[in-house]
Chain A
Amino acid sequence: MNEVLNFVIVGHVDHGKSTLIGRLLYDTESLPADKIEEIKKASDGLGRDTEFAYLLDHLEEERKQGITIDTTQVFFNTDKRRYVIIDAPGHVEFVKNMITGASQAEAAVLIVDVEEGVKEQTRRHSYMLSLLGLHQVIVVLNKMDLVDYSQDRFNSVKKDVADWLASINVAPDVYIPISAIKGENITKKSDKMPWYTGPTFMDSLDTLKNKVSPDEKSLLFPVQDVYKVGDKRINVGRIETGTITTGADVKILPTGQTTQVKSIEKFLEDTHQAVASECIGITTADSVFLDRGNIICSPGAEPHLTDRVKANIFWMSKRPFTKDQKLTLRCATQETTCKIERIARKINSSTLELIAEDANDIANLEVAEVIIKTKKPVAIKDFNDVQEMGRFVLVRDENTCAGGIITEN
């Protein structure tokens, strides 16, 4: 049982994320006795009437405000595998934390309060999932106990959610009626909803697929650093896609030089091949001087090298972007200063309404289609082909202020 799956739970504030997680931990007996004590003790006397949410809301501020501020990661096991749950905050104030959480996940659970239906963060969060390329989605309609386990209510909210998700190209695996507080359809089939014949939440988790390491694609090896060890110059990095073999011909971007892999370096290991996700070092046959940010690839299968990047970016800073601001773009290990040349259009990330075309600024939570002019050329891929090199962050004053997705170039 060594497989691990990371999933994020997103949804509108108070739709029951923390309660669902508390319930999962409780039902899978993943709670160390003393740990609950510590957390729950503080909740005594605050007069809130749910107990499970406190398992996750560790911080004083959260307990007082009743909302999850930051991304929390917790662990539990089923008979099939281990899970890491990323609890993303539901409040609009903390969307950047939700995105942080979602960027680490392989799948997502969208939770919707069946009494309240689709709300602002339901839409924004699911749109962000779509942007981030998270396409494995389970939808749970929570608080069925508050609507007397009504099938009609379930169907009506399910339709609203489905209509919205279809408009943003998300096709969920399943819709499950649950009550996290009562434990209905979480680990056991609920006898309160005989009309529901689908899987329980836990069963549906077990059907999610782990991300497969893209070995079969052609090689992309961004150089992270160069170490001098004895008389060797070892170029270290992580293989993002493909495999590397000693003796293989490789091309180096942006210089365009070609050489061969002389050796693959791993401490205490003698190896001639390495696969995607492995952190290795290589030495080259010719004495080429590589640097951080160089991309090693296979000749004939190079990524696109350009100084003009068209992308969708989502702004995550309360200080808006204005066109005169200096930014740094970081994509894999590449880093260059850049300017946003054009803000072709920007939309509201919850309603998808067009806010402006040819805009001059981008505000918090807005998603914009932009053209970025980089100072140095960058090697990029289409996000749908190679996520690792089709995404980037923008940094302003040493703080990440936006994420970007490259979908056409």
Chain B
Amino acid sequence: MTDKPKTVIIGTDGVPFEMIEHFAQTGVMPNTARLIADGTFAKMQSSIPEVSSVAWSSMITGANPAEHGIFGFIELHPNSYRMRFPNYNDVKAPTFWDKRDGKSVIINVPSTYPVRPMNGVLISGFVSIDINKSVYPPDLVPTLQSFDYRLDVDARKAHQSMDLFLEDVEATLQGRIKAYRYLWDYCDWNTFMLVFTGTDRLLHFLWSAYEDKNHAHHAAFVDHFRKIDEVVGEIAGKLTDDDLLIMHSDHGFERLDHEVFVNYLLAENGFLQFKQDTDPALENICPDTKAFALDPARIYLNLKGKYPAGNVNPAGAETILDEIEDLFTEFQIDGRKVIRDVYRKADIYTGPYIESAPDLILVANAGFNLKGKIGADALYSKGIFTGKHTQDTAFLLIKGPHNPEKLPNPPKVSDIPAIFM
């Protein structure tokens, strides 16, 4: 390995600023605490919307969604209401490892499936389907399999049994750690990025276990973070003062009070209608529909020419957007306003793919989790999930040569590459 300064990035999916702070102060994450003491520790803004595919695409490209083209986990096929799932091929802006000289080792970054050749090693993260399309160079697959490397926690298990789910979270973490240790000496890299995504899975299902010390899974929850901190310590120990270590999350998390179904409200107020005697499904939208939402809270006008049953003329678009904005701005549950902000696409996005952006994007107030589900049977409910993403409480921790003055205040997830590029 050369002596040139290295950059190492440790990503922890979904971990909020306050949680890192709390675990650092209470001795769960002593290694992280040391980095905080020696470095810069800040609350960071996620992307809008604050879902992993958008946030990580922004982080690795340093660009906003209208530049990289990823606006959510779901898009529609052209001129249809059929859903598709954008992947790495849809990321239109170059990633930092595409632009950077030298080799990079990139492990488990969401939104990088299917992998393509690059200078170094790339193991894709959520949503990766097939190990053989998730690893570059491909001859690493047998080695990874010998580590019992798992692309992702099987979250379906949480719906059956939390014990099974926790076993899977642990096994996935161990496979990931083995892979990182093996790849650390695999080639002469100058950028190494390792992302833990089990954190996000735990936070979705077991936020309650974090808050409640008497919860059956509280110890397991805390233990997961302790293990991650051990890896942080192990990695920090391999670095010199000339190397840069960045630790961060892609979005934050908080307690979930209500799942709120945006399409339900749109339908209730006549903006969204389905053909008679059909199931509520995007394919069954009828031409009276003015707007619909895709997950989490991206609202699209049913524009004529753009969709098969489109009937909104560009001339009338602004009026409808105003009506929808009013509807959501005033929207309350239990006397609390649900929506923090309603954005028009031009408010938050700039770039060549702005045409593909949603017409309105909603960001919720604390406790409300906005969902784009179609066919929900109530306006809001509470299901298996106890935690939800936040847009404004991600964290950023930098240790090593950098200029804190140059960092925007507050920093955004897309500002990270500029720290080391």
Chain B contacts with A in 278-298, Cβ cutoff 8 A = none
A286 close to B (CB within 8 Å): no
Q: Among B89, B129, B141, which residue has its beta carbon within 8 angstroms of that of A51?
A: B141
Cβ–Cβ contact B129 & A37, under 8 A: yes
CA A51 – CA B114 in complex, angstroms?
Answer: 15
CA A33 – CA B114 in complex, angstroms?
Answer: 9
CA A36 – CA B132 in complex, angstroms?
Answer: 9
Tell me how far the C-beta of B99 lies from the nearest C-beta in chain A, rounded to whole angstroms.
23
Cβ–Cβ contact B129 & A41, under 8 A: yes
A41: chain B residues at CB < 8 Å are 129-130
Chain A contacts with B in 182-205, Cβ cutoff 8 A = 182
Interface string of B128-142 (1 = CB under 8 A from A): 011111000011011
| With A44-B130, A44-B131 as contacts: A37 and B141 at CB distance below 8 Å | no
B114: chain A residues at CB < 8 Å are 33, 37
Which residue of chain B has its CB nearest to the CB of A42? Answer: B130
A181 close to B (CB within 8 Å): yes
Max chain A CB contacts within 10 Å: which of B132, B138, B141? B132
CA A135 – CA B89 in complex, angstroms?
Answer: 45
CA A50 – CA B145 in complex, angstroms?
Answer: 11
Chain B contacts with A in 129-177, Cβ cutoff 8 A = 129-133, 138-139, 141-142, 145-146
Max chain A CB contacts within 10 Å: which of B129, B130, B141? B130
Q: Among A40, A181, A182, which residue has its beta carbon within 8 angstroms of that of B130?
A: A40
Cβ–Cβ contact A37 & B133, under 8 A: yes
Tell me how far the C-beta of B113 lies from the nearest C-beta in chain A, rounded to whole angstroms.
10
CA A33 – CA B116 in complex, angstroms?
Answer: 10
Tell me how far the C-beta of A205 lies from the nearest C-beta in chain B, rounded to whole angstroms.
23
A230 close to B (CB within 8 Å): no
A50: chain B residues at CB < 8 Å are 142
B132: chain A residues at CB < 8 Å are 36, 40, 43-44, 51, 54
A49 close to B (CB within 8 Å): yes
CA A41 – CA B89 in complex, angstroms?
Answer: 18
Cβ–Cβ contact B139 & A47, under 8 A: no
Cβ–Cβ contact A40 & B133, under 8 A: yes
CA A51 – CA B133 in complex, angstroms?
Answer: 10
Chain A contributes a number of interface residues (CB within 8 A of B) equal to 15
Interface string of A15-56 (1 = CB under 8 A from B): 000000000001000000100110011011001011100100
Tell me how far the C-beta of B381 lies from the nearest C-beta in chain A, rounded to whole angstroms.
33
A181: chain B residues at CB < 8 Å are 139
A44: chain B residues at CB < 8 Å are 129-132
Q: Among B131, B139, B145, which residue has its beta carbon within 8 angstroms of that of A182?
A: B139
Cβ–Cβ contact B130 & A37, under 8 A: yes
CA A403 – CA B130 in complex, angstroms?
Answer: 43
Cβ–Cβ contact A33 & B89, under 8 A: yes
Tell me how far the C-beta of A2 lies from the nearest C-beta in chain B, rounded to whole angstroms.
30
CA A370 – CA B271 in complex, angstroms?
Answer: 82
Tell me how far the C-beta of B157 lies from the nearest C-beta in chain A, rounded to whole angstroms.
15
Which residue of chain B has its CB nearest to the CB of A41? Answer: B130
Cβ–Cβ contact A49 & B130, under 8 A: no
CA A36 – CA B115 in complex, angstroms?
Answer: 12
Tell me how far the C-beta of A144 lies from the nearest C-beta in chain B, rounded to whole angstroms.
15
Tell me how far the C-beta of A37 lies from the nearest C-beta in chain B, rounded to whole angstroms.
6
Cβ–Cβ contact A49 & B141, under 8 A: yes
Which residue of chain B has its CB nearest to the CB of A43? Answer: B132
Cβ–Cβ contact A47 & B129, under 8 A: no
B142: chain A residues at CB < 8 Å are 49-50
| With A37-B129, A40-B130 as contacts: A49 and B139 at CB distance below 8 Å | no
CA A375 – CA B138 in complex, angstroms?
Answer: 60
CA A290 – CA B155 in complex, angstroms?
Answer: 72
B130: chain A residues at CB < 8 Å are 36-37, 40-41, 43-44
Tell me how far the C-beta of A342 lies from the nearest C-beta in chain B, rounded to whole angstroms.
55
A49: chain B residues at CB < 8 Å are 141-142, 145-146
B141: chain A residues at CB < 8 Å are 49, 51
Tell me how far the C-beta of B154 lies from the nearest C-beta in chain A, rounded to whole angstroms.
11
Tell me how far the C-beta of B96 lies from the nearest C-beta in chain A, rounded to whole angstroms.
23
Tell me how far the C-beta of B87 lies from the nearest C-beta in chain A, rounded to whole angstroms.
10
A37: chain B residues at CB < 8 Å are 114, 129-130, 133
B145: chain A residues at CB < 8 Å are 47, 49
Which residue of chain B has its CB nearest to the CB of A38? Answer: B130
CA A37 – CA B87 in complex, angstroms?
Answer: 13
CA A329 – CA B106 in complex, angstroms?
Answer: 64
Tell me how far the C-beta of B298 lies from the nearest C-beta in chain A, rounded to whole angstroms.
26
A26: chain B residues at CB < 8 Å are 138
CA A33 – CA B115 in complex, angstroms?
Answer: 10
CA A272 – CA B141 in complex, angstroms?
Answer: 61
Max chain B CB contacts within 10 Å: which of A51, A54, A181? A51
Apart from A44-B132, A181-B139, what 14 extra A-B contacts exist at CB < 8 Å? Answer: A26-B138, A33-B89, A33-B114, A36-B132, A36-B133, A37-B114, A37-B129, A41-B129, A43-B132, A44-B129, A47-B145, A49-B141, A49-B145, A182-B139
Query: Which residues of B approach A to under 8 Å, CB–CB?
Result: 89, 114, 129-133, 138-139, 141-142, 145-146
* Between-chain CB contacts (< 8 Å), 28 pairs: A26-B138, A33-B89, A33-B114, A36-B130, A36-B132, A36-B133, A37-B114, A37-B129, A40-B130, A40-B131, A40-B132, A40-B133, A41-B129, A41-B130, A43-B132, A44-B129, A44-B130, A44-B131, A44-B132, A49-B141, A49-B142, A49-B145, A49-B146, A50-B142, A51-B141, A54-B132, A181-B139, A182-B139
Query: Which residues of A approach B to under 8 Å, CB–CB?
Result: 26, 33, 36-37, 40-41, 43-44, 47, 49-51, 54, 181-182
The 6 tightest CB contacts between A and B, nearest first, are A49-B142, A40-B132, A41-B130, A51-B132, A40-B130, A44-B131
